[in-house]
């Protein structure tokens, strides 16, 4: 039910683009960093939640305005301020864990998720581009780029889940995620490559067949890794879900763990190899 409501809203906001998409991603960053800091607290650590949230939101704004200098400034200031804050804290036990946990949370959630904003804003560093798809519908390049990681990631996850449930026999990474199988992974590869070609025909004619293959296979490889990393973090804390933010679906980190890794992959591939 949540997915049925969320997907049309997502498509509408991505189609609107601009400040609306920025607010959506910043909301995801805010909740994701909040959840991550709570996970660290359950592990007995004391992250600097306010600093982590503010820094992560600033990274999102830096992506929106394409300010690489401000991005570097934010990360540098975060490390220094957190280190000084820990120096002034009365109890200094496990200082390295408090500092590194806070900084990792900002990079893991704030910076990685900001690549969705970079995808939407990519035409600003290329050229304003509106093209017509096979249905003679005019589409903004930024809209098409921003939707791409959602489509590829969810098609990969859905196909991997379906094939794994029906045909899964060989465990993929049982020590972290006992339900994942090699059959599911291969099903995800097939599903996401087909999805990439369909998306290219309908919504991204600027992609070549090679781009579709590369993005499909790359997503199928990196998406399970993103899921495993989040599972590893939760297993370390001994919790099933990162949070209960989304009724029946866990937290934002549970729903978008794969997207944290696929969004940067897709952005850098497109930026350096596909879109000119």
pLDDT tens track for 144-176: 899 999 999 999 999 988 888 888 678 877 778
199 and 266 Cβ atoms separated by less than 8 Å = no
Average pLDDT over residues 244-251: 67
Give bridge partners of residue 193 from the DSSP assignment.
none
Q: Which range of residues forms the domain containing residue 124?
A: 2-274
Alpha carbon distance 216, 150 (integer Å): 12
Residue 25 · residue 113 · CB < 8 Å: yes
Look at residue 219 and tell me whether its pLDDT is greater than 90.
Answer: yes
Joined together, the tokens standing for residue 214 give: 């590369």
| Mean pLDDT, residues 230-235 taken together | 90
Q: What does the block give as tokens for 54? A: 């503010």
Angstrom CA distances, 70 to 24, 49, 78, 84, 184, stand at 21, 21, 12, 21, 41
Instruction: Indicate if the alpha-carbon torsion angle 34, 46, 261, 138 is positive or negative.
Output: positive
Q: From CA 128, how far away is CA 141, in angstroms rounded? A: 8
Q: Which pTM value belongs to this model?
A: 0.90
pLDDT in tens, 35-57: 999 999 998 899 999 999 999 99
Task: Say how far apart CA 71 and CA 38 lie, in whole Å.
Answer: 25
- Count the domains in the chain: 1
pLDDT band, very low/low/confident/very high, at 128 (cuts 50, 70, 90):
very low
Report which of 102, 25, 100, 28 is spatially closest to residue 64, judged by C-alpha positions.
Answer: 25
């Amino acid at each position: 039910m949540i997915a049925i409501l969320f997907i049309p809203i997502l498509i509408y906001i991505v189609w609107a683009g601009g400040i609306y998409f920025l607010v959506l991603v910043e909301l995801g960053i805010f909740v994701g960093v909040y959840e991550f800091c709570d996970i660290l607290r359950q592990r007995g650590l004391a992250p600097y939640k306010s600093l982590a949230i503010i820094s992560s939101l600033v990274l999102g704004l830096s992506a929106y305005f394409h300010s690489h200098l401000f991005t570097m400034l934010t990360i540098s200031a975060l490390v220094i301020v957190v280190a000084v804050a820990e120096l002034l804290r009365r109890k200094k036990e496990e200082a390295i864990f408090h500092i590194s946990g806070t900084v990792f949370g900002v990079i893991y959630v704030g910076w990685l998720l900001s690549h969705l904003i970079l995808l939407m804003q990519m035409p600003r560093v290329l050229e304003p581009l509106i093209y017509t798809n096979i249905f003679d519908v005019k589409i903004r390049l930024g809209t098409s780029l921003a939707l791409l990681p959602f489509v590829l990631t969810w098609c990969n996850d859905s196909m991997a889940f379906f094939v794994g449930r029906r045909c899964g026999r060989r465990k993929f990474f049982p020590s972290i995620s006992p339900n994942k199988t090699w059959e599911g992974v291969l099903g995800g590869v097939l599903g996401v490559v087909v999805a990439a070609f369909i998306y290219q025909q309908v919504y991204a004619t600027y992609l070549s067949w090679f781009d579709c293959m590369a993005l499909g296979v790359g997503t199928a490889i990196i998406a399970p890794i993103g899921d495993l990393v989040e599972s590893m973090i939760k297993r370390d804390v001994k919790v099933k879900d990162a949070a209960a933010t989304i009724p029946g679906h866990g937290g934002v980190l549970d729903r978008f763990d794969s997207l944290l890794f696929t969004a940067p992959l897709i952005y850098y591939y497109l930026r350096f190899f596909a879109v000119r």
